[in-house]
Amino acid sequence: MEPNFWHDKWHQQLIGFHQSQVNQLLLTHWQQLDIPSQGQVFVPLCGKSLDMCYLAELGHNVLGCELNLSAVEQFYAENQLTVTSQTLAEHKLFNCEQIQIWQGDIFTLAAQTTQNISGFYDRAALIAWPESLRLGYVKQLATLIPKGCTGLLVTLDYPQETLQGPPFAVSPTWIEVHMSEYFEIRLLACHDVLEDNPRFVKKAVPWLNEAAYQLKRK
């Protein structure tokens, strides 16, 4: 999607992708990844996700990346966090005690920015891209994730022809075909969550699977 698409969504507050609670698959599966409690965790396309607060509560230092300035400002304001900021080249870096967010384009984020991370978490990034652009994101993610680093990927899958994304459908087959070059992949869980998503029900989407994967950078 073009940057203006997301800027418009945030400007109009059409942010149905934002969850008002911590993601259940994160709550269920994160700690079994054995990521050091004090380790830094990278959250691409983080928006104003409360999942970052949960990761910080576990002791992690969180490093997010988000395109939209308003999303970043809303995150710190709504969680009553005191934050400082500075402009560094093409990005603006926001910083509080445990949560840093690089505001700007993830495709221009330098690999050195994430070289010390111990883990990563992608709930809304991979599914934000249509298939024509998704592989480019996967390649950039692989550039940013150090060898041996483990993360949690959360995806949605449904018959794409029944609904115009985002979020876009990402099948287990797509993940295996396009991500196995860079990551060891293990399916942790997969559940039909259609009943919990009225937008999909209204559009007569027949099924909606939410899945969690453990990824390890090769």
Report how far residue 43's alpha carbon sits from residue 60's, in angstroms, rounded to the nearest whole number: 12
Q: Which residues contact 38 (CB under 8 A, 6 or more apart)?
A: 59, 60, 61
Give residue-wise pLDDT tens across range 24-61.
999 999 999 999 989 999 999 999 999 999 999 999 99
User: What integer pLDDT is reported at residue 15 of this predicted model?
Assistant: 47
Report how far residue 90's alpha carbon sits from residue 16's, in angstroms, rounded to the nearest whole number: 28
Query: What is the number of structural domains in the chain?
Result: 1
Locate the DSSP E strands across 39-196.
Answer: 40-44, 61-66, 84-88, 91-95, 99-103, 119-122, 150-157, 183-192
User: From the CB of residue 118, how many other CB atoms can be counted at a distance below 10 Å?
Assistant: 20
User: What integer pLDDT is reported at residue 14 of this predicted model?
Assistant: 47
Give the pLDDT band of residue 97 (cuts 50, 70, 90).
confident
Q: What is the mean pLDDT of residues 63-70?
A: 94
**What is the pLDDT of the chain when averaged over all its residues?**
91
Give residue-wise pLDDT tens across range 117-150.
999 999 989 999 999 999 999 999 999 999 999 9
User: What integer pLDDT is reported at residue 3 of this predicted model?
Assistant: 62
The CATH number linked to 76 is: 3.40.50.150
Q: Is 34 exposed, middle or buried (0-12, 13-18, 19+ CB in 10 A)?
A: exposed
User: What integer pLDDT is reported at residue 165 of this predicted model?
Assistant: 83
Report how far residue 189's alpha carbon sits from residue 210's, in angstroms, rounded to the nearest whole number: 8
User: What integer pLDDT is reported at residue 75 of this predicted model?
Assistant: 93
Task: Please give the C-alpha separations between residue 94 and each of 99, 184, 204, in angstroms, as whole numbers.
Answer: 8, 32, 41
Give residue-wise pLDDT tens across range 5-25.
655 655 555 445 546 789 999
Structural domain range at position 131 = 3-217
Give residue-wise pLDDT tens across range 158-207.
999 999 888 999 999 999 999 999 999 999 999 999 999 998 999 999 99
User: What integer pLDDT is reported at residue 181 of this predicted model?
Assistant: 97
